[in-house]
């Protein structure tokens, strides 16, 4: 029942500005903690060891905090924290902002998509902006919605907090850059592990909204992605929409030639493709909610 109530609260209220303008969001606090270990310990030699120990300390602290919160009588502390760390409404709002921005101007669309992707956006055309928004929506539906729900259902608030601190650390220090390749290694690998099941579950949920494409095709194209997990929801969404995702993109001024997922799909995308993605994500959310209700009743 905690999962069901948390999902409803998130879907209805999202992230109210009146609240988070007064107190820091839990994700912001986690980001500050990761930033602290990065600036404090990511120096000198043995950075992989330092990064592993620093990240492990954060994960253990999150686990202990989770048990403390879970010990509070009643379910509402768990429900409210769960709702704060499930990001369906926020995800939809960010993707919709790209849709609305593109309908006004390309510049507005680029500005909106730059809020949710790390790739270069300055010279994107409308199709590239649309593709970036759809890819971000697909991947973050796994990372920000299904994975938190999964770990909340499996292990309660302790498991949810461990997942969120891991995912936050991966997003901040889990890059293969000279500064973070060693220091962020443990966070990145643990994030891959914790997202292994949710990513494939997300692909299944997206597939259930349509079911025309054999799952074997989705699995085959998922393997083309540079990430062991992100390819699954992106591949499922690509086949659901009959569009090509992934492909070439620029990071820090360097164009990288990634293969397309569903390369036979439509490559010139438009804002209505974002609207279709939003509809698919809500349908998959409803399927997830129905499953959560069934489990709660059982």
Concatenated DSSP letters of 44-70? SS-HHHHHHHHHHHHHHHHHHHHHHHH
Whether 166 has a pLDDT exceeding 70, the answer reads yes
pLDDT digits (tens, 9 = 90+) for 212-269: 999 999 999 999 888 899 999 999 999 999 999 987 776 776 777 788 889 899 999 9
Token readout for 255 is 């164009």
Name which of 188-192, 193-197, 253-257, 267-271 the model is least confident about.
253-257
| Pairwise CA distance, residues 59 & 64, whole Å | 9
Whether 72 has a pLDDT exceeding 70, the answer reads yes
| Pairwise CA distance, residues 298 & 124, whole Å | 49
Mean pLDDT computed over 122-138: 92
Q: What rounded mean pLDDT belongs to the chain?
A: 93
In this structure, what DSSP letter does residue 42 have?
A: S
Beta strand pairing call for 249-251 and 260-261: unpaired
Whether 119 has a pLDDT exceeding 90, the answer reads no
In three-state form (DSSP H/G/I as H, E/B as E, the rest C), the secondary structure along 120-160 is: CCCCCCHHHHHHHHHHHHHHHHHHHHHHHHHHHHHHHHHHH
pLDDT digits (tens, 9 = 90+) for 5-63: 999 999 999 888 888 788 889 999 999 999 999 999 999 999 999 999 999 999 999 99
pLDDT given for residue 253 in this prediction: 67
pLDDT over 70 percentage in the chain: 99
pTM for this entry? 0.94
Closest Cα to residue 115, out of 103, 139, 132? 132
Q: Where are the domains of the chain?
A: 2-297
pLDDT given for residue 20 in this prediction: 78
Beta strands, E only, the chain: 245-246, 249-251, 254-256, 260-261
Closest Cα to residue 7, out of 297, 295, 298, 292? 292
pLDDT given for residue 15 in this prediction: 86
Residue 291: alpha-carbon gap to chain centroid = 20
pLDDT given for residue 83 in this prediction: 95
The Cα-based distances of 203 to 104, 223, 277, 294 in angstroms read 32, 13, 13, 20
**Do residues 55 and 37 lie in contact, with contact meaning Cβ atoms separated by under 8 Å?**
yes
pLDDT given for residue 63 in this prediction: 98
């Amino acid at each position: 029942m905690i999962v069901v109530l948390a999902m409803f609260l998130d879907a209805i209220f999202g992230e109210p500005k009146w609240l988070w303008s007064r107190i820091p969001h839990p994700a912001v606090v986690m980001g500050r903690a990761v930033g602290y270990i990065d600036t404090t310990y990511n120096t000198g030699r043995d950075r992989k060891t330092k990064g592993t120990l620093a990240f492990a300390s954060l994960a253990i602290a999150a686990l202990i905090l989770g048990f403390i919160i879970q010990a509070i009588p009643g379910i509402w502390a768990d429900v409210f924290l769960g709702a704060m760390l499930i990001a369906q409404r926020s995800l939809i709002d960010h993707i919709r902002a790209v849709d609305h921005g593109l309908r006004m101007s390309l510049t507005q669309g680029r500005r909106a998509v730059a809020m949710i992707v790390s790739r270069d956006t300055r010279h994107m055309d409308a199709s590239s902006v649309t593709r970036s928004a759809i890819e971000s929506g697909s991947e973050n539906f796994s990372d920000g919605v299904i994975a938190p729900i999964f770990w909340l259902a499996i292990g309660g608030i302790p498991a949810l907090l461990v997942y969120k601190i891991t995912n936050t650390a991966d997003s901040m220090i889990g890059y293969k850059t000279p500064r973070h390749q060693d220091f962020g290694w443990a966070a990145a690998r643990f994030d891959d592990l914790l997202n292994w099941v949710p990513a494939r579950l997300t692909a299944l949920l997206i597939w259930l909204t349509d079911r025309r494409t054999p799952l074997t095709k989705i699995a085959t194209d998922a393997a083309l992605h540079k990430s062991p997990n992100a390819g699954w929801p992106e591949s499922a969404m690509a086949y659901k929409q009959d569009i090509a995702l992934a492909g070439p993109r620029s990071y820090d001024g360097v164009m990288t030639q990634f293969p397309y997922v569903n390369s036979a799909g439509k490559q010139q995308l438009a804002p209505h493709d974002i609207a279709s993605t939003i509809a698919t994500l809500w349908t998959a959310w409803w399927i997830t909610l129905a499953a959560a209700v069934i489990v709660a009743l059982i």
